[in-house]
């Protein structure tokens, strides 16, 4: 029988004016009272731990892993049974190389056996139910202690953002798919606690673009935090209309989707500021971000243990090789994700980074699930590398593009042209750039369209996939 779980009333369920009021009062408090005490503790640790040497990092990770595994064995029914069945004894855990004895955790397992992941003896009143933003895939639901874990998350993110000059007094415009109640044609909401102006990315159409740009200009943000696909739309509009950038803007912070090199170049050329990427998941299993020196992702060893595995499930240790991110999160102890297959691909990068942090480094993170196309032989081909190979010059004739597939070997490209671009220039680009990359295993057709559908979270999807992966495919 499923255990009953009492859920605390989610903060999001409180009416918006009251919620804004609460956040305004909290914003007046001194920093240490503004958030859950876990924020201050985590922040203080990270200010030091980011400069730890490899040995200290290894000791910290060993302790975190061991205590997590012991707790999971004792309190979480799924892991209790799994460890017993696979002959894994957390009390005899000697180091990360022992993790190989624990079978991987998939989204499907979490979906079908959700209540077995909840730790026993948890006060029901302290839990929130959280759902990931699935697009084609079914969303994943799980439990967490929102106030505490979100406070920790904010500490980690703040420490990353400080690398590019961000501090708690900075003002940001947020274009990240937040649901905003639109009143009197205003697509915005202000969060006084974080000094964020949240703009709806669902209403960012061609017609509304001038109003958005006026609003961003009058707010004059220090940073814009956005989905790459959304900020790319804004940047293209700026370029096409020869509009000036924003005077105070110091950086654009991207996350939740891959940022392709041509997008980075477009954003840097248009807004003339640093573009900074963060990688993480709602499940809080792994977190990484760029640093002041470059664009490699620095994986937080204080946040979780990250493995990169090849198609056979073997650990990748050679820089330059690409594999799937398998993560064990240290934050969520009441619903632990251990050896969790994230479905995201990354390339192991070579260190050390000139910034001096001894964190593991990754390059080119792409979402795996949304990014596969199937050729005539029904072989899965990752779209990420194809998109990574596209140059900005190639993209100048295209404003937006979406790949659509409804049967293997058949690829439809839905294209919104740039103003003034001819059908022939787009066709030539497709021939030059994509046909050569994809080989002769695809029939490619171009459909010129006026509009592309967004996802439930307001992102632009590069691929709308109507084919399910063949059985046995890891995607
Ligand atoms: Zn660095």
- Can you give the pLDDT at residue 475? 36
The residue that leads in pLDDT, 121 or 223, is 223
Whether residue 260 sits in one domain with residue 394: no
Residue 207 maps to a domain: no
Whether residue 287 sits in one domain with residue 426: no
Arithmetic mean of pLDDT, 140-147:
87
Arithmetic mean of pLDDT, 442-468:
77
- Can you give the pLDDT at residue 154? 94
Q: Are 338 and 351 in contact (CB under 8 A)?
A: no
Reported as a pLDDT band with limits 50, 70 and 90, residue 256 is confident
Whether residue 344 sits in one domain with residue 397: no
Residue 299 CA to ligand 1 center (angstroms) comes to: 10
Whether residue 440 sits in one domain with residue 352: no
The last residue of one of the domains, among 335, 367, 399, is 367
Lowest mean pLDDT segment, chosen from 153-157, 328-332, 424-428: 424-428
Residue 363 maps to a domain: yes
Residue 298 CA to ligand 1 center (angstroms) comes to: 7
Backbone angles phi, psi at 283, to 5 degrees: -70, -10
Q: Is the pLDDT of residue 12 over 70?
A: no
| Percentage above 90 pLDDT, the chain | 51
Q: Where are the alpha helices (DSSP H) in 241-322?
A: 261-271
pLDDT per residue over 221-252, tens digit each? Answer: 999 999 888 898 899 899 989 999 999 999 99
CATH number, domain with residue 40: 3.40.50.12780
Whether residue 406 sits in one domain with residue 261: no
Arithmetic mean of pLDDT, 343-360:
94
The residue that leads in pLDDT, 388 or 211, is 211
Whether residue 418 sits in one domain with residue 314: no
Residue 454 CA to ligand 1 center (angstroms) comes to: 34
Lowest mean pLDDT segment, chosen from 30-39, 112-121, 192-201, 466-475: 466-475
The residue that leads in pLDDT, 141 or 308, is 308
What stretch of H or E contains 229?
helix 228-240
> Burial letters for 143-173: b for 16+ Cβ neighbours within 10 Å, e otherwise?
bbbbebbbbbbbbbbbbbbbbbebeeebebb
Number of domains in the chain: 2
User: What are the beta bridge partners of residue 278?
Assistant: 255, 289
Whether residue 351 sits in one domain with residue 401: no
The residue that leads in pLDDT, 447 or 369, is 447
Q: Is the pLDDT of residue 373 over 70?
A: yes
Arithmetic mean of pLDDT, 277-286:
94
Residue 352 CA to ligand 1 center (angstroms) comes to: 8
Residue 348 CA to ligand 1 center (angstroms) comes to: 14
- Can you give the pLDDT at residue 435? 73
Residue 442 maps to a domain: yes
pLDDT per residue over 423-441, tens digit each? Answer: 988 888 877 777 777 777 8
DSSP state of 247: T
Lowest mean pLDDT segment, chosen from 216-230, 306-320, 387-401, 417-431: 387-401
- Can you give the pLDDT at residue 92? 96
Whether residue 126 sits in one domain with residue 6: yes
258/279 Cα distance (integer angstroms): 9
Q: Where are the alpha helices (DSSP H) in 29-167?
A: 31-34, 37-49, 54-75, 77-86, 107-112, 146-162
Whether residue 346 sits in one domain with residue 391: no
- Can you give the pLDDT at residue 384? 66
Residue 275 CA to ligand 1 center (angstroms) comes to: 15
Residue 356 CA to ligand 1 center (angstroms) comes to: 6
Reported as a pLDDT band with limits 50, 70 and 90, residue 127 is confident
- What tokens appear for 416 in the block? 């919104």
Residue 289 CA to ligand 1 center (angstroms) comes to: 9
The last residue of one of the domains, among 367, 390, 408, is 367
The last residue of one of the domains, among 367, 399, 430, is 367
Whether residue 399 sits in one domain with residue 362: no
Residue 53 CA to ligand 1 center (angstroms) comes to: 14
Whether residue 52 sits in one domain with residue 135: yes
What stretch of H or E contains 170?
none
Per-range mean pLDDT, top range of 141-155, 290-304, 385-399, 401-415: 290-304
| Percentage above 70 pLDDT, the chain | 87
Residue 351 CA to ligand 1 center (angstroms) comes to: 9
Whether residue 452 sits in one domain with residue 341: no
Lowest mean pLDDT segment, chosen from 38-52, 75-89, 340-354, 407-421: 407-421
Q: How far is CA 297 from CA 48, 55, 160, 288, 312, in A?
A: 19, 21, 11, 5, 24
Q: Are 34 and 193 in contact (CB under 8 A)?
A: yes
Residue 171 maps to a domain: no
Lowest mean pLDDT segment, chosen from 50-54, 213-217, 343-347: 343-347
Query: Mean pLDDT across the chain, nearest whole number?
Result: 86
Residue 45 maps to a domain: yes
**Domain boundaries, position 266:** 1-164+250-367
Per-range mean pLDDT, top range of 31-40, 130-139, 174-183: 31-40
Residue 433 maps to a domain: yes
Residue 48 CA to ligand 1 center (angstroms) comes to: 15
- Can you give the pLDDT at residue 6? 41
Residue 214 maps to a domain: no
- What tokens appear for 234 in the block? 């804004």
- Can you give the pLDDT at residue 29? 79
Residue 375 maps to a domain: yes
**Chain centre distance of CA 251:** 18
Q: Is 354 exposed, middle or buried (0-12, 13-18, 19+ CB in 10 A)?
A: exposed
The residue that leads in pLDDT, 16 or 71, is 71
CATH number, domain with residue 446: 3.30.300.30
Residue 285 CA to ligand 1 center (angstroms) comes to: 21
* Coil vs helix vs strand at 241: coil
Residue 47 CA to ligand 1 center (angstroms) comes to: 15
Arithmetic mean of pLDDT, 246-268:
90
């Amino acid at each position: 029988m499923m255990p009953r779980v009492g859920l605390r009333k989610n903060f999001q369920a409180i009416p918006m004016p009251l919620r804004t009021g609460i956040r305004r009062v909290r914003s007046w408090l001194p920093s240490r009272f503004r958030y859950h005490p876990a924020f201050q503790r985590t922040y203080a640790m990270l200010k030091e731990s980011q400069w730890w040497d490899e040995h200290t990092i290894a000791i910290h990770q060993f302790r975190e892993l061991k205590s997590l595994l012991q707790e999971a064995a004792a309190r979480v029914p799924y892991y209790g049974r799994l460890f017993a069945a696979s002959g894994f004894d957390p009390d005899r855990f000697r180091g990360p190389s022992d993790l190989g004895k624990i079978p991987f955790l998939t989204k499907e397992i979490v979906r079908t056996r959700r209540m077995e992941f909840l730790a026993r003896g948890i006060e029901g009143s302290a839990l929130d139910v959280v759902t990931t933003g699935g697009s084609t895939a079914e969303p994943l639901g799980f439990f967490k202690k929102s106030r505490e874990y979100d406070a920790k998350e904010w500490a980690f993110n703040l420490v990353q953002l400080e690398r590019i000059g961000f501090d708690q007094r900075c003002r940001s415009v947020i274009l990240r798919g937040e649901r905003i109640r639109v009143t009197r044609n205003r697509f915005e909401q202000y969060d006084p606690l974080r000094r964020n102006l949240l703009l709806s990315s669902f209403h960012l159409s061609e017609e509304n673009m001038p109003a958005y740009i006026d609003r961003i200009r009058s707010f004059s943000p220090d940073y814009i935090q956005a989905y790459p696909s959304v900020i790319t739309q804004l940047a293209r509009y700026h370029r096409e209309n020869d509009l000036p950038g924003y005077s105070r803007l110091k950086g654009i912070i991207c996350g939740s989707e891959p940022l392709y090199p041509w997008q980075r170049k477009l954003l840097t050329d248009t807004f003339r500021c640093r573009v900074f990427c963060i990688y993480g998941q709602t499940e809080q299993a792994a977190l990484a971000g760029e640093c002041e020196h470059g664009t490699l992702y620095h994986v937080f060893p204080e946040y979780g243990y990250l493995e990169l595995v090849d198609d056979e499930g073997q650990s990748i240790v050679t820089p330059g090789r690409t594999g799937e991110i398998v993560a064990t999160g240290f934050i969520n102890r009441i619903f632990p994700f251990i050896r969790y297959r994230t479905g995201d691909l990354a390339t192991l990068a070579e260190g050390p980074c000139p910034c001096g942090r001894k964190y593991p480094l990754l390059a080119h993170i792409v979402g795996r699930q949304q990014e596969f196309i199937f050729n005539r032989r029904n072989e899965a081909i990752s779209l990420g590398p194809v998109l990574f190979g596209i140059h900005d010059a190639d993209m100048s004739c295209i404003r937006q593009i979406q790949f659509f597939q409804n049967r293997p070997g058949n690829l439809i490209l839905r294209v919104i042209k740039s103003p003034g671009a001819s059908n022939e220039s787009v066709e030539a680009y497709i021939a030059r750039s994509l046909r050569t990359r994809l080989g002769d295993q695809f029939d490619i057709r171009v459909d010129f369209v006026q509009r592309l559908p967004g996802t439930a979270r307001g992102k632009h999807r590069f691929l709308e996939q109507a084919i399910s992966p063949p059985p046995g495919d890891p995607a």
